[in-house]
Structure 1
Amino acid sequence: MSLVRTANLFDEPACPTNREKTETARKKGCSKPLTPGAAAGGCAFDGAKIVLQPITDVAHLIHGPIACEGNSWDNRHAASSGSDLWRRSFTTDLTELDIVMGNGEKRLFKAIRAIVERHDPPAVFVYSTCVTALIGDDITAVCKRAAERFGRPVVPVEAPGFAGSKNLGNRLAGQTLLDHVIGTAEPDDVTPYDVNILGEYNLVGEFWFVKPLLEELGIRLRAVIPGDARYRDIATAHRAKANMMVCSSALINLARGMQERWGIPYFEGSFYGIADTSAAIRGICGLLVEQGAPSALLDRAEALVAREEAIAWQRIAPLKPRLAGKRVLLNTGGVKSWSMVDALQEAGMEVIRTSIKKSTEEDKARALAALKDEKHLFDRLAPREIYRMLADGEADIMLSGSRTQFIALKAKTPWLDVNQERHHPYAGYEGFVELLRRIDLAVNSPVFPALRQPAPWDEAGRLTAQPVIPTDVAHSFRKFASGALEDSDDC
């Protein structure tokens, strides 16, 4: 993997913060150094696979030991309306003998051949890993030879885990699409209403709440990258008239690259919350009109927005009194650091803190604009601090990923999963109603007030005295502590 190629991904000209740096600071990049021996929140391989695996009809082949593949099924709960080939994934399963004897490249070629013969996918993506990158396997050369032999694209994804963080892997995946996929096929059905959505993963099928609205306006989704995408959709994405970027921290290099190569304008938006969904629809239509679509599209968009907002608010009306004034600790990051804030405030809830750990400077600025005070933003909170805030009643509910759910449950505080592992869709007007319904079920559940009540035996004072330990048991414990009690002794 080229070090220059990697460094260029952190000298991002489309990032306003990066443009304000000095030349020396830009050369250092914007990645934070990882702590050796500590969990870094994912690796570059993980980030690349997250971005590319939801491309549903592609065979994803991991070149490395089987442990690198892990469990691909239900990757981030992205949903597909077509093939489930992407959920299976494949691995060359290198062993110590393959590594020592240098059999990696031969094993990779045989694996590609087996996949083509058995599944006949339109393309194969081959991912390098730490082990195969360290031993010097040239996956680019193998992919080129396999593409010639089997008559289909075989795309090398050079993002070994040691290259850097998960975010770097996201960008390496975007660069792979620019270098090897986008622009490799020409569509025969171009319209003035073609758009791409970048950084949308269709988690739990939530983009299917948005897609019908765009189709009602006559907008055709040339490609949604990567959610529920097909290889040919992405290969022809360069003929779209506009791009909407959902997650800039992950794929801003892809949006910028498409603008530079094919002149496709882009903007950043969100489909979380009523106001942001409406703004995203207006933004898409506005860009299309600027690119030559009839101006009547804007009028149709306003009519659709007015209708859908009225329906959503009507459905939310019974929930608003139950949620008004509820305090929320939002422990997530990225685009959700501000988009979720906007959505929750629309429903009358108060966000007391929001995490900006994985947010760009633009994300942080939007979160600050929504919350008005920097004290409501935090980069990292220790688990004990989160527990203290919840146990002291500073928040009525925590919205976060599954890794911190047990802090909330230990503090006897309601919790809702809003990260990629969730099982419920929250995007669009319909998704916003579902989000509020789920929050209502959690925060107004009768279980938590019951949990916080003292136990009946505590109220009766039955266990307030120190427990009495029998003399013989206490003597055995003392012998054990002093080392006099052996395993064979009877205690």
Structure 2
Amino acid sequence: MSSLRAKIQDVFNEPACEQNRGKDAKARKKGCSKPLTPGAAAGGCAFDGAKIVLQPITDVAHLIHAPLACEGNSWDNRGAASSGPTLWRTSFTTDLTELDVVMGQGERKLFKAIRQIKEAYGPPAVFVYPTCVTALIGDNIEAVCKRAAEKFGLPVVPVNAPGFVGCKNLGNKLAGEALLEHVIGTAEPDDAGPYDINILGEFNLSGEFWLVKPLLDRLGIRVRACIPGDARYFDIACAHRARAAMMVCSTALINLARKMEQRWDIPFFEGSFYGITDTSEALRQISQLLVKKGADPEILGRTEALIAEEEAIAWKKLAAYRPRLEGKRVLLNTGGVKSWSVVHALMEIGIEIVGTSVKKSTVEDKERIKQILKDDNHIFEQMAARELYAMLSEHKADIMLSGGRTQFIALKAKTPWLDINQERQHPYAGYDGMVELVRQIDLAIHNPIWCQVREPAPWDCQPAVREELPRMKSETASLHAVQEFAGTTADDLGEC
């Protein structure tokens, strides 16, 4: 527990975070994340954050050392995709019961579970996640993992991020610490080259990184490790041999990027693959970093040629949507890197942003939003459901882009809604992803269902019907009255 406490303090003291550097020593120790809400489950605790970062590593067995409900609350809460292995889609848990806790059988049960996974699946590694219960009863996860690794001849990685230590974002960073301590640098590739890069904080939601990787392939740039989206254990173990790195979501793995730069001299920058301009800028910065690390400068020319070609194709496709979407108003209720990258992407085709949430956004994210929007009135930290509903019902926005948790607010306000968060079904990264995002917005806004649901109900626009309904609903209404009304024809009611 003391080692876990030391790791947490180290994560809180993040020198690569400008917001953290601006605090005094006392405030820095508290970190920048909000405290947990008692009773919060999925989406709130450190265990859930660690699982989010590591589960997309596709060929690894992820074993939850906890009661069954801990795994149930965190299972499959991100739409990451795999191009090969499916082991990560199998849920493993030791399923501790009250009897196991009372009798002290937790460590023995964990060792047995690791052995069963080894024999049945033969994975390249097993990641073990303790949760609140197993951390509080004092199970020595590190010792069990070390013993199992020696006994079974495979890496067994303890991911020390029980839920009670903090929020989801802290769990993200503790997962990065686990990779640094137990995985990265433990293997050596035999094909390291001057064009190898790492992509950090990219989750390959709905397979959207597969829209970006072909662009890098055309430039001769190899993704040594994409952490965690569609990753393999061996690729992450060899990630220390990359020449440069791109950070996609700094709030999740900024500590991983900084420490890899310190240990292995891998420079990184923060960028985005959302939108045409940001995708082009990300490709430029990747090429520039590689040149600084010794790659042939001719890659800069090839990058500009690729950008010019892909931008021309994308703008030609988007031209068909501009007349239909220009001037449409969008309310963006998300956070993190999407709070500015998606804003920039939508403004490129003439869509007006009436508001964007900066929840879970870093100081750098907020500064980018201010530079893009030029107006702080369109930026909100967190908007209550009542305020969101009022804004949509008053038709201040033509569509809301958000996660699944707020979709029903938009639907109740009879306003189009599009999923922009991790549960989405369509990839939005890269040039093709931008075209797909605009296409989905166009489909949502111009769906004829919205004209139908906004029309008044028949009983609201026909006086005769309004007068009859209360009488029918009355307990004293006679059966004859009901039958008489039931015989009313469409011609009698007229048109609404």
TM-score by length of 2: 0.93
1:467 aligns to what? 470
The 2-side partners of 1:70 and 1:23 are apart by 38
2:444 aligns to what? 442
Indicate which of 197, 200, 203 corresponds to 2:202: 200
The answer to whether the 8 A contact 2:334-2:402 is kept is yes
Letter of the structure 2 residue corresponding to residue 33 of structure 1: P
Indicate which of 23, 26, 50 corresponds to 1:24: 26
Letter of the structure 1 residue corresponding to residue 159 of structure 2: V
> Shift in Å at residue 242 of structure 1?
0.3
- Three-state SS of the structure 1 residue aligned to 2:26 is helix
Question: Structure 2 vs 1, CA of residues 94 and 322 (structure 1 numbering), >3 Å: closer, same or farther?
Answer: same
- Three-state SS of the structure 2 residue aligned to 1:330 is strand
The 2-side partners of 1:408 and 1:434 are apart by 21
Letter of the structure 1 residue corresponding to residue 161 of structure 2: A
The 1-side partners of 2:74 and 2:382 are apart by 29
Identity %: 70
The answer to whether the 8 A contact 2:216-2:222 is kept is yes
The answer to whether the 8 A contact 1:329-1:353 is kept is yes
Letter of the structure 1 residue corresponding to residue 285 of structure 2: G
Letter of the structure 1 residue corresponding to residue 470 of structure 2: P
> Shift in Å at residue 34 of structure 1?
2.8
The 2-side partners of 1:406 and 1:83 are apart by 35
- Three-state SS of the structure 2 residue aligned to 1:221 is strand
> Shift in Å at residue 463 of structure 1?
4.9
The 2-side partners of 1:20 and 1:405 are apart by 36
The 1-side partners of 2:464 and 2:357 are apart by 43
2:489 aligns to what? none
1:154 aligns with 2:156: yes
The 1-side partners of 2:122 and 2:10 are apart by 35
> Shift in Å at residue 21 of structure 1?
2.0
> Shift in Å at residue 384 of structure 1?
1.1
- Three-state SS of the structure 1 residue aligned to 2:59 is coil
The 2-side partners of 1:372 and 1:225 are apart by 33
- Three-state SS of the structure 1 residue aligned to 2:175 is helix
> Shift in Å at residue 24 of structure 1?
2.8
The 2-side partners of 1:352 and 1:137 are apart by 51
Letter of the structure 1 residue corresponding to residue 241 of structure 2: R
> Shift in Å at residue 33 of structure 1?
2.3
Indicate which of 305, 308, 311 corresponds to 2:310: 308
> Shift in Å at residue 444 of structure 1?
1.1
- Three-state SS of the structure 1 residue aligned to 2:84 is coil
The answer to whether the 8 A contact 1:54-1:78 is kept is yes
Question: Structure 2 vs 1, CA of residues 31 and 75 (structure 1 numbering), >3 Å: closer, same or farther?
Answer: closer
Indicate which of 357, 361, 370 corresponds to 1:368: 370
Deviates more, 1:248-257 or 1:454-463: 454-463
> Shift in Å at residue 379 of structure 1?
1.1
The 2-side partners of 1:161 and 1:426 are apart by 31
Letter of the structure 1 residue corresponding to residue 444 of structure 2: A
2:141 aligns to what? 139
The 2-side partners of 1:240 and 1:324 are apart by 42
Deviation string 1:249-285 (CA, Å, 9 cap, x unpaired) is 0100000010111111000000000000001100100
The answer to whether the 8 A contact 1:58-1:85 is kept is yes
The answer to whether the 8 A contact 1:333-1:357 is kept is yes
Question: Structure 2 vs 1, CA of residues 23 and 471 (structure 1 numbering), >3 Å: closer, same or farther?
Answer: closer
The answer to whether the 8 A contact 1:75-1:87 is kept is no
Deviation string 1:95-143 (CA, Å, 9 cap, x unpaired) is 1110110000000000000000010000000000111001100110000
Deviation string 1:223-255 (CA, Å, 9 cap, x unpaired) is 000000000000000010001000000100000
> Shift in Å at residue 75 of structure 1?
4.4
1:36 aligns to what? 38
The 2-side partners of 1:141 and 1:122 are apart by 20
Indicate which of 404, 407, 423 corresponds to 1:405: 407
Alignment of 1:91-490 (within 5 A): 91-465=93-467, 467-468=470-471, 470=474
1:485 aligns to what? none
The answer to whether the 8 A contact 2:42-2:73 is kept is no
The 2-side partners of 1:161 and 1:410 are apart by 34
Letter of the structure 2 residue corresponding to residue 429 of structure 1: Y
Letter of the structure 1 residue corresponding to residue 123 of structure 2: P
The answer to whether the 8 A contact 1:72-1:89 is kept is no
- Three-state SS of the structure 2 residue aligned to 1:127 is strand
Letter of the structure 2 residue corresponding to residue 229 of structure 1: A
The answer to whether the 8 A contact 2:58-2:230 is kept is yes
Letter of the structure 1 residue corresponding to residue 312 of structure 2: A
Deviation string 1:48-85 (CA, Å, 9 cap, x unpaired) is 00000000110000000111111776541111011100
The answer to whether the 8 A contact 2:337-2:361 is kept is yes
The answer to whether the 8 A contact 2:459-2:466 is kept is no
> Shift in Å at residue 29 of structure 1?
2.3
> Shift in Å at residue 470 of structure 1?
4.4
> Shift in Å at residue 35 of structure 1?
3.5
Question: Structure 2 vs 1, CA of residues 422 and 287 (structure 1 numbering), >3 Å: closer, same or farther?
Answer: same
- Three-state SS of the structure 2 residue aligned to 1:76 is coil
> Shift in Å at residue 464 of structure 1?
4.2
- Three-state SS of the structure 1 residue aligned to 2:224 is strand
- Three-state SS of the structure 2 residue aligned to 1:398 is strand
The 2-side partners of 1:103 and 1:82 are apart by 36
- Three-state SS of the structure 1 residue aligned to 2:78 is helix
The 1-side partners of 2:75 and 2:39 are apart by 28
Letter of the structure 1 residue corresponding to residue 156 of structure 2: V
> Shift in Å at residue 26 of structure 1?
1.9
Question: Structure 2 vs 1, CA of residues 10 and 365 (structure 1 numbering), >3 Å: closer, same or farther?
Answer: same
The answer to whether the 8 A contact 2:251-2:361 is kept is yes
The 1-side partners of 2:400 and 2:137 are apart by 45
Question: Structure 2 vs 1, CA of residues 332 and 19 (structure 1 numbering), >3 Å: closer, same or farther?
Answer: same
Q: CA RMSD in A?
A: 1.5
The 2-side partners of 1:72 and 1:15 are apart by 28
Aligned residues: 473
**Structure 2: segments with no counterpart, 5+ residues:** 478-496
The 2-side partners of 1:462 and 1:108 are apart by 71
TM-score by length of 1: 0.94
Give 4+ residue runs of structure 1 displaced > 6 Å after superposition: none
Deviation string 1:349-385 (CA, Å, 9 cap, x unpaired) is 0111001111111111111111111111111111111
> Shift in Å at residue 31 of structure 1?
2.4
Question: Structure 2 vs 1, CA of residues 459 and 135 (structure 1 numbering), >3 Å: closer, same or farther?
Answer: same
Letter of the structure 2 residue corresponding to residue 99 of structure 1: V
The 2-side partners of 1:71 and 1:385 are apart by 29
The answer to whether the 8 A contact 2:173-2:253 is kept is yes
The 2-side partners of 1:73 and 1:251 are apart by 21
> Shift in Å at residue 461 of structure 1?
1.9
> Shift in Å at residue 25 of structure 1?
2.5
